[in-house]
Amino acid sequence: MKIKFGSIEETIITRDEFPLSKAREILKQETISVLGYGIQGPGQSLNLRDNGFQVIVGQRKDSSSWDKALKDGWIEGKNLFSLEEASERGTILMYLLSDAGQISFWPTLIKYLIEGKSLYFSHGFGLTFCHQTKIYPSKKIDIFLVAPKGSGTSLRRLFQQGKGINSSYAIYQDYSGNSLEKTLSIGIGIGSGYLFETNFKNEVFSDLVGERGTLMGAIQGIFAAQYQILREKGHSPSESFNETVEELTQSLMPLVSEKGMDWMYANCSTTAQRGALDWWKKFRDATLPIFQELYHEVSSGNEAKRIIKVNSNVDYRKKLQEELQDLRQSELWKVGSIIRNLRPEEKKDKNL
């Protein structure tokens, strides 16, 4: 359907006009091969399996992800195979390895991308920055994308709750003439709440900016700054964390999700309303130059070049664990761990 967002008309696909039964019918002759069982692989493959599609998983043996796939009910030799065998068996290859993993496995995968097969992504990185990734697909295959707007964990959790996470979709190459139907079928099959149209370049640009910005990077920076100021001014750890993180995640953001920021403002105290309305533009003006710099670094390819170089270092995972440990051991998140365990639902679960 076409929906106007202000003056801009967009194509939106919901489960009403594209039901699951239609998706199953379109893909009934396809073997969907999910390559990679790390971040997006588990959620997408399990949701497709539970929705009645023919799905197999490809993963490197003797890895923690292989062990996780076994625990999730995938059976070696039946629907769990090596990356190579799954690539050969599948007709739609869902390339869900990490960006670094995609670069590494590409010289092997390309041998299996024969005419008539389809290549699926959940991120536009590999093709948008092909000059750096060296991912150059055949012209005789369909290539498309469905990108859930959230983690694989959230995709699976919401699916199990009977809900859905929104996803973008894009067609990169329509060799068969049927790419759109296949794309939307998988989008519905993985449990998308609704699907909105984009292209590979826009998907990766918005995704990289979002991850580094309000979704992860900026929000951690703001958390750390506010917590530090409160602690320096004599506020206790629990008070500082509650006023910085807990109230936002447990109380206010659910209200924003439900009704919008204006509704949340309208349902706070007049003191909170006035302060928020007076101060939000200051934060916008202070951070706008950082976002301008960030978008330039992403769109120019500089960020992709840096990521590929860093992620390719042999000691990357060791250094990553050290960085995450530093974050985990910061007072902010040590306090957070204690406070999460004090939530009534956490105590209830432990007493079951």
What residue type is assigned to position 160 of the chain? Q
Tell me whether residue 247 is annotated as binding: yes
Instruction: Give me the long-range contacts of 331-337 (CB less than 8 A, separation at least 24).
Output: 331/227, 331/231, 331/237, 332/223, 332/224, 332/227, 332/241, 332/244, 332/245, 335/237, 335/238, 335/240, 335/241, 336/241, 336/245, 336/246
Contact status, residue 96 vs residue 36, Cβ threshold 8 Å: yes
> Is 239 labelled a binding residue?
no
Query: For residues 167 and 146, is the Cβ–Cβ distance under 8 A?
Result: yes
The answer to whether 243 is annotated as binding is yes
Supply the angle between the helices 200-212 and 217-232 in degrees, to the nearest 10. 10
293 annotated among ligand-binding-site residues: no
123, 131, 235, 296: the catalytic one is: 123
Q: What angle do CA 135, 141, 147 make, to 5 degrees?
A: 65
Give yes or no for a contact between 29 and 118, defined as CB atoms under 8 angstroms apart.
no
User: Residues 152, 43: contact at Cβ < 8 Å?
Assistant: yes
Any catalytic annotation for residue 235?
no
84 is in an annotated binding site: no
Using DSSP's 3-state secondary structure scheme, residue 196 falls into strand
Residue 167 host element (H or E): strand 165-173
Phi, psi of 121 (to 5 degrees): -125, 160
Task: Give the span between the Cα atoms of 184 and 202, in whole angstroms.
Answer: 18
Binding site listing for substrate: 269
Annotated binding site for Mg(2+): 207, 211, 243, 247
Active site residues per annotation: 123
Binding site as annotated, residues: 207, 211, 243, 247, 269
